[in-house]
Amino acid sequence: KNEVEQSPQNLTAQEGEFITINCSYSVGISALHWLQQHPGGGIVSLFMLSSGKKKHGRLIATINIQEKHSSLHITASHPRDSAVYICAVYQGDYGGSQGNLIFGKGTKLSVKP
């Protein structure tokens, strides 16, 4: 079993829909990252969370440390949101001396006009 599981693997939505991507993990963590990878291949960091909720534009990320679960929401989705969204967790002490992130397999989102 992978330590970081994402669902769904693939998601197709109509423009304007509210989208939720889920990430569950089985290890203790101090930080969780959401990354976006566009069809061109570039990877961009969207959020880093250790608790609660963060919002940036139409993107909202939440994390429940007790339930070992995080969600990424996209409101009013747009075709330009089409990308692969990757969840990654950090097990070490935040700000400590380790660097390993454990990655999920990603969720491929396609938003149709």
Minimum distance from residue 38 beta carbon to other proteins (Å): 11
The secondary element (H helix, E strand) that includes residue 7 is strand 4-7
Residues 8-47, mask of contacts with other proteins (x by CB under 8 A) = ----------------------xx-x-x-----xxxxx--
Residues 66-95, mask of contacts with other proteins (x by CB under 8 A) = --------------------x-x-x-xxxx
Closest CA to 55 of 74, 27, 82, 77: 74
109 lies in the site for other proteins, by CB under 8 A: no
Where does this chain touch other proteins (CB under 8 A) — which range of 9-17, 56-64, 65-73, 97-105? Answer: 97-105
Tell me the residue ranges of DSSP E strands in the chain. 4-7, 10-14, 19-25, 31-37, 43-49, 52-56, 59-64, 69-74, 83-90, 101-103, 107-112
Minimum distance from residue 113 beta carbon to other proteins (Å): 27
Q: Please compute, for residue 46, the number of CA atoms within 13 A of its CA located in the half-sphere on the CB side.
A: 28
Binding stretches for other proteins (CB under 8 A): 30-31, 33, 35, 41-45, 48, 86, 88, 90, 92-101, 103-106
